[in-house]
Amino acid sequence: MRPLRLLILLALLGAGAFWWITRPNPLPADAVAGLTGDARKGEALFWAGGCASCHAARGATGAAQLKLGGGQELATQFGTFVVPNISPDKATGIGGWTLAAFANALTRGLNPAGQHLYPAFPYTSYSHMTLQDVADLKAYIDTLPPVVQADAPHRLMFPFGWRRLIGGWKWLFLRPGWVVPDPLTPEEQRGRYLAEALVHCGECHTPRNLFGAMDSGRWLAGAPNPSGPGHIPNITPAKLDWSADDIATYLTSGLTPAFDSAGGDMAHVIENLGHLTDADRAAIAAYVKKVPPAN
Ligand code: HEC
Ligand code: HEC
The number of the ligand 2 atom at minimal distance from the alpha carbon of 203 is 5
Q: Percent of the chain scored above 70 by pLDDT?
A: 100
CA distance 292 to 290: 6
Instruction: Name the closest-CA residue to atom 17, ligand 2.
Output: 263
CA distance 209 to 203: 12
Q: How many residues does the chain have?
A: 295
Is 145 within 8 Å of 66 (Cβ atoms)?
yes
pLDDT tens-digit map of 120-175: 999 999 999 999 999 999 999 999 999 999 999 999 999 999 999 999 999 999 98
Is it the case that residue 230 has pLDDT exceeding 90?
no
Q: Determine if ligand 2 sits within 6 Å of the CB of residue 252.
A: no
CA distance 108 to 182: 24
For the CA of 230, the nearest ligand? 2
Model pLDDT, residue 88: 98
CA distance 193 to 186: 10
pLDDT tens-digit map of 251-288: 999 999 999 999 989 999 999 999 999 999 999 999 99
Q: Which of 208, 214, 266, 270 to mutate to test the pocket of ligand 2 (most atoms within 8 A of CB)?
A: 266
Give residue 42 CA to ligand 2 midpoint distance, Å. 24
Is it the case that residue 291 has pLDDT exceeding 80?
yes
Give residue 24 CA to ligand 1 midpoint distance, Å. 17
Is 37 within 8 Å of 135 (Cβ atoms)?
yes
Q: Which amino acid is at 49?
A: G
